[in-house]
Amino acid sequence: MKVVDNKAYILWKGKRREIPLSQIIQVTSMGQYCKFHLEDGEQIITTANLRKAHSFLPVFWRIHWTRLVNPQHIRTWVRRSGLLVLSNGEKCQIADGRLPAFREQHRLWKPNPNTYLRA
């Protein structure tokens, strides 16, 4: 796996797939593997673990030990409960220990108007 020019290159079924980062909603952990959840509903499993995936995707936010989210796909953040609603309608809980870092990232984040998804 590698990232070049806002595109992730992922080995999938023996072939290298090129996926624009803006199409990745989230990445979830599956132990030593991780699953990429895409806008079109496709899910791609890779042999990289979540820590390695995060090292290639520093623009994604770690909200739990099992999940990275693309900030462009966050639709709602319920501050009191730490609940996120993503662009695909999925609800995700921010871990209590990750909430302070999330708040700081959210405060500093300025979406790129060329790639920001409008609700």
pLDDT band at 61 (very low <50, low <70, confident <90, very high): very high
105 Cβ contact partners less than 8 Å away, ≥ 6 residues apart? 61, 71
> Is pLDDT above 80 for 64?
yes
Kindly state the DSSP code that residue 46 receives in the 8-state scheme: E
> Is pLDDT above 80 for 2?
no
> Is pLDDT above 70 for 112?
no
- Cα–Cα distances in Å, from 52 out to 3, 58, 76, 88, 117? 12, 10, 27, 24, 26
For the chain, the domain total comes to 1
The boundaries of the domain holding residue 22 are 2-108
Whole-prediction pTM value? 0.84
CATH code of 43's domain: 2.40.50.1020
pLDDT band at 106 (very low <50, low <70, confident <90, very high): confident
Domain assignment present for residue 40? The answer is yes
